[in-house]
Chains A and B, each alone.
Chain A
Amino acid sequence: MLKTFLKTFLFTSLALIAVVIILEGSKSTHSNALKRQKVEHTVITEKISTQKKVRKERAGFFSRTFFIDYPIRLSYSISNFIRKLSLKPTPSLKLTEINISPDIEKFSFLIEGSIRSFNIKGALPKLLNFYSYIDSFENILYLSHSEPEVVKNNNSERMQKDFRFTISGEVETE
C-alpha cells in the first residue's frame, strides 16, 4: 500500500515539477518579449521628441509669416470693405457711425445709420436693400440688422421721419 502511495506521490511530484518548468519558461519568454518591446518603444519615442522639435520649427515658420503678413491683409480688407459700402447709392439712407474691431482671420463691424421715410413700411425696404447689398459681399461670415426705430417723431403723417437702424456682422479677412 505504501509502495503505491510513494509511486503515486513521485509521479504527481514529477508532473507538478514539469508544469512548474513549463510555466516558468513561458513566463520568462513573455517577460523578455515585453522588455524588448519596451526598449523599442522608448527608442522610438525619443526619436519622436526630435520630430516634435521639427513640428515646432515648422509651426513657428507659419505663425511668424502670419504675424508679419496679417496687418497688411487686415488693413486692406477693412478699408476695402468700407470702400465697397460707399459704392451703393443710398437715397434717403445715411450712415452715422461705422465701428470696426479686428480679430484673427476676420473683423466684426457695427454700422449705425438712419433712413428718411414717411413710415416704417417705407423705411424697411430701403434698409433691406442696403442689407442685401452688404450680404452680397463675398467674404461676409455673419450679418444681422435691427428693426428701424423712429428718431424724430413728427405727429404729421405728411412729414418724413428719421428711422434709426444698426447692421452688425463679421467679415473674413481677404
Chain B
Amino acid sequence: MKKLSYFLYFIIIISLFLILYVFPSMKTINKFKRETKDYKLKIEDIKKKRSLFTELDKREFFHISRIKKEIRKKVPVIRDSNSLIQLKKETSTPMKKLAGKMKIGEIRITPVNDKKVKRNTILTLPGAEDLRTLNCSLFFLSSLKKGLTFINKLSWLEKNILIYQIKITPGNNGLLFSIITKCFYFDNTRKWKVKNREGREGLIDLNSPILEKKIYYNLPERAVKENLPKIYGKRLFR
C-alpha cells in the first residue's frame, strides 16, 4: 500500500512538473524559434530587394535638379493677390499675341470661376500641396487649320498651359472654338492642403520596379514641339 502511495506521489510531482514547467517552456522555445525564422525570412527578403536597388548618384542628382529648375521656370509662385493679377496678364497676353501672330482675329480670354473646373486639376506634382490652376476660357472664330494650329501652339508658351476642354461648333464665318485652359501656379497666399494618395508620389506608384534603377537608364522621352501635318480636309463642318 505504501509503495503504491509513493508511486502515486511521484507521478503527481512529475505530472505537475510537466504541466507547470516543461510544456510552457517548450511552448516558449517554439515561439522563439518561429519568430526567429520569420525575422530571418524578412531580412532575406529585404536583402534580396536591396541587392537590386541602387543609390542616387551625381548624374541622377543632375537630372533631378534640372527638372526642378524647369518646374520653377514654368510654374510661377504667387505670394499675394497683386501677383495673381499679374499672372492673369502674363497668361492672357502671350495667348493674345499668339492669336494675333496667327491672324486668328478677335479672341476673348476670361478667367473662369467655375468650382468644378477649379477642383479638377488632372495633373499633380509631388509634394506640391499649394499647386493651383488659373483657368481661362477662350472664344474665337477661325478656320479649322488656324484653330488647330493655335491649340497645338498654346502649350508651347512659357507658362505650363494645359487644355482642359474644347468645343468646336460651326459659325457663320468659320468655326467657333471655345476652349478652357489651365495655367498652373504655386499659391503661397494660403495653405492649401491637397494630399497625395498614399503610396504614390505624384502619378507614380512608389513600389514600381522602375524606381529601383538609376534614372538615366529609363529617361522618359521628352515631348517635342511638333507642327501639325499641313494636310486638312475642308468639308467637315458645312
Contact = CB atoms under 8 A, between A and B. Distances in A.
Mutual binders A and B: yes
Interface residues of A, number: 70
Max chain A C-beta neighbours (<10 A), residue from B32, B63, B169, B212? B32
B21 A33 contact: no
A65 B154 contact: no
B66 to A, nearest CB: 9
Interface string B27-61: 01100110110011011001100100101100010
Q: Interface residues of B toward A: which range? A: 35 or more
Contact of B22 (A23, A58, A90, A94): A23
A56 B201 contact: yes
A72 B151 contact: no
A38 B148 CA distance: 63
**Chain A interface SS verdict (over half):** helix
Interface string A135-174: 0000000000000000000000000000000000000000
Contact of A86 (B46, B67, B232): B232
B204 A62 contact: yes
Interface string A59-103: 111111111111111111011101101111110001111111111
A45 interface: yes
B234 A86 contact: yes
B130 to A, nearest CB: 15
B123 A70 contact: yes
Interface in B101-155: 122-127, 144, 148-149, 151-155
B157 to A, nearest CB: 10
B125 A67 contact: yes
B122 A103 contact: yes
B236 A64 contact: no
Contacts of A33: 32, 36
Interface string B200-228: 11111010101110010000101111101
B232 A75 contact: no
B2 A1 contact: yes
B47 to A, nearest CB: 7
B4 interface: no
B56 A5 contact: no
B229 to A, nearest CB: 7
Contacts of B96: none
5 contacts: A16-B17, A55-B206, A56-B126, A71-B161, A83-B232
